[in-house]
């Protein structure tokens, strides 16, 4: 049996295969209110029909000023629950599981508000006070309660790509001198509190996406990322979704599987399940990653935008017959 189509049990959930739709902002909210539109329903349901085992909904903002763009999905009010519930219902209708990525863009937010960050820049960025940090942690917690009410099986905390939580982790952006800055133990504190807050109210599997390479000599090192991942494991995080970059604006050399070595480093270094992502578009490549135990799940991004039924294509390449309505099957009729 091809590994890509073997079930994967994580905490209290068994995914039917190892294919995850990587979180991808669609910038498709119509009224800047963060509410799910018919487009989102069709978009996510298509990937569930296509055979993806875990459909992860894009970075969804825990507060309005945490949106990357004004057209991002939101989860900052109870009004968001109904639309998100439609998404999980439609995903579940196809024996797929549903995840949501909770995020705050921090300094990278492109809304009309002045962005917040671990540091200040005269007139353009507000440095977060300890009180603002407490509020943000609480917003993650309330968002997790709403995600639970909306029927999500899995939550992923977005701590990658230079967004707010990543800015606390990185010495390149965290210049604080209080208990949230300085040593890596201190830089980890905000993420640590967010994880605890989410886990207090959400009992399904918890993923965290990190950028495990900052492509900068003064950035976090491999040792730092392993330390963060060990801490996450100790807190009960179930899987690290391993991406890279976005903290500083530097060119990245991308090639098929360019972040797989990072997923492998975290998996070995912290003995925790990992997801590999980044230019994985071929079934045989996914098999190589899984069979060599370099990662446990395969996150597919742009290839699933181009081919919503990519799992079906992959199953044919690997000679696996997927569950499908009879008329869909080869040779029928
Ligand atoms: C992304 N990516 C992304 N990552 C994330 O953690 N949260 C997000 O909301 C988004 N949004 C997003 C939108 C779009 C249009 C793209 C193309 C990408 C990154 C994405 O999840 C993935 O990590 C990368 O695209 C690399 O994987 P692929 O596309 O090479 O399979």
pLDDT in tens, 283-296: 999 999 999 999 99
| Centroid of ligand 1 to alpha carbon of 178 (angstroms) | 33
Tell me, what DSSP letter sits at residue 5? G
Closest residue by Cα to atom 26, ligand 1, is: 278
Token pair in block for residue 321: 């017959």
Is any ligand 1 atom within 6 A of the Cβ of residue 86?
no
Best of 19, 25, 285, 289 for a ligand 1 pocket test (most atoms within 8 Å of beta carbon): 25
Q: Partners of 158 in the beta sheet?
A: 209
Atom of ligand 1 nearest to the CA of 161: 6
Of residues 102, 92, 103, the one with CA closest to residue 41: 92
Tell me, what DSSP letter sits at residue 118? S
pLDDT at 99: 99
pLDDT at 113: 85
* C-alpha–C-alpha distance, residues 56 and 20, integer Å: 7
| Centroid of ligand 1 to alpha carbon of 42 (angstroms) | 19
Backbone angles phi, psi at 324, to 5 degrees: -160, 155
Atom of ligand 1 nearest to the CA of 300: 31
Atom of ligand 1 nearest to the CA of 254: 30
pLDDT tens, residue order, the chain (333 aa): 899 999 999 999 999 999 999 999 999 999 999 999 999 999 999 999 999 999 999 999 999 999 999 999 999 999 999 999 999 999 999 999 999 999 999 999 988 888 999 988 877 888 999 999 999 999 999 999 999 999 999 999 999 999 999 999 999 999 999 999 999 999 999 999 999 999 999 999 999 999 999 999 999 999 999 999 999 999 999 999 999 999 999 999 999 999 999 999 999 999 999 999 999 999 999 999 999 999 999 999 999 999 999 999 999 999 998 887 788 777 787
Token pair in block for residue 250: 């530097």
Backbone angles phi, psi at 197, to 5 degrees: -65, -45
Is residue 205 domain-resident? Answer: yes
Of residues 318, 297, 214, the one with CA closest to residue 1: 318
Q: Evaluate whether 269 touches 229 at the Cβ level (below 8 Å).
A: yes
Those residues with Cβ within 8 angstroms of residue 309's Cβ, 6 or more apart along the chain or in another chain = 49, 50, 51
- Could you give the number of structural domains in the chain? 1
Is residue 288 domain-resident? Answer: yes
Is any ligand 1 atom within 6 A of the Cβ of residue 158?
yes
Residue 312: exposed, middle, or buried by beta-carbon count in 10 A (0-12, 13-18, 19+)?
A: middle
| Centroid of ligand 1 to alpha carbon of 59 (angstroms) | 9
- pTM for the model stands at 0.98
Is residue 259 domain-resident? Answer: yes
Token pair in block for residue 209: 């996406």
Q: In the chain, where do the E strands start and end?
A: 8-10, 13-15, 19-21, 54-61, 97-103, 116-117, 126-127, 154-159, 206-211, 239-243, 273-277, 297-300
pLDDT at 274: 98
pLDDT at 122: 79
Residue 8's domain comprises: 3-323
Is residue 329 domain-resident? Answer: no
Is residue 331 domain-resident? Answer: no
pLDDT at 133: 98
Q: Evaluate whether 204 touches 153 at the Cβ level (below 8 Å).
A: yes
Terminal CA-CA length for the chain:
27
Beta-sheet pairing, 206-211 with 154-159: parallel
Closest residue by Cα to atom 17, ligand 1, is: 302
ipTM above 0.90, yes or no: yes
Where residue 25 sits, what CATH number does that domain have? 3.20.20.70
Name residue, tokens 């960025």: 125
């Amino acid at each position: 049996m091809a590994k890509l189509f073997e079930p994967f049990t994580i905490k209290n959930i068994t995914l039917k295969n190892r294919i995850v739709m990587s979180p991808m902002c669609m910038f498709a909210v119509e009224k800047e209110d963060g509410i799910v539109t018919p487009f989102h329903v069709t978009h996510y349901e298509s990937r569930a029909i296509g055979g993806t085992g875990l459909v992860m909904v894009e970075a969804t903002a825990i507060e309005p000023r945490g949106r990357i763009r004004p057209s991002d999905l939101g989860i900052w009010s109870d009004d968001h629950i109904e639309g998100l519930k439609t998404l999980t219902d439609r995903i579940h209708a196809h024996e797929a599981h549903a995840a949501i990525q909770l995020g705050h863009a921090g300094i990278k937010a492109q809304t009309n508000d002045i962005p917040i960050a671990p540091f200040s820049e005269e007139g353009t960025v507000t440095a977060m006070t300890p009180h603002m940090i407490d509020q943000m942690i609480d917003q993650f917690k309330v968002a997790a309660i709403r995600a639970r009410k909306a029927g999500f099986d899995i939550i992923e905390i977005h701590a990658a790509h230079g967004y707010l939580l990543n800015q606390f982790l990185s010495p390149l952006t965290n210049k604080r001198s209080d208990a949230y800055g300085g040593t890596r133990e201190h830089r980890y504190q905000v993420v640590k509190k967010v994880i605890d807050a989410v886990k207090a109210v959400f009992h399904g599997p918890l993923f965290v996406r990190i950028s495990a390479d900052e492509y900068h000599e003064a950035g976090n090192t491999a040792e730092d990322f392993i330390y963060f991942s060990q801490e996450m494991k100790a807190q009960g995080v179930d899987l690290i979704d391993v991406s890279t970059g976005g903290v500083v604006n530097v060119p990245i050399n991308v090639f098929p599987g360019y972040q797989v070595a990072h997923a492998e480093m975290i998996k070995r270094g912290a003995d925790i399940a990992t997801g590999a992502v980044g230019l994985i578009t071929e079934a045989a490549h996914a098999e190589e990653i899984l069979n060599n135990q370099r990662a446990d799940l395969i996150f597919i991004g742009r290839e699933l935008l181009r081919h919503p039924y990519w799992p079906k294509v992959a199953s044919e390449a690997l000679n696996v017959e997927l569950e499908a309505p009879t008329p869909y099957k080869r040779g029928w009729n």
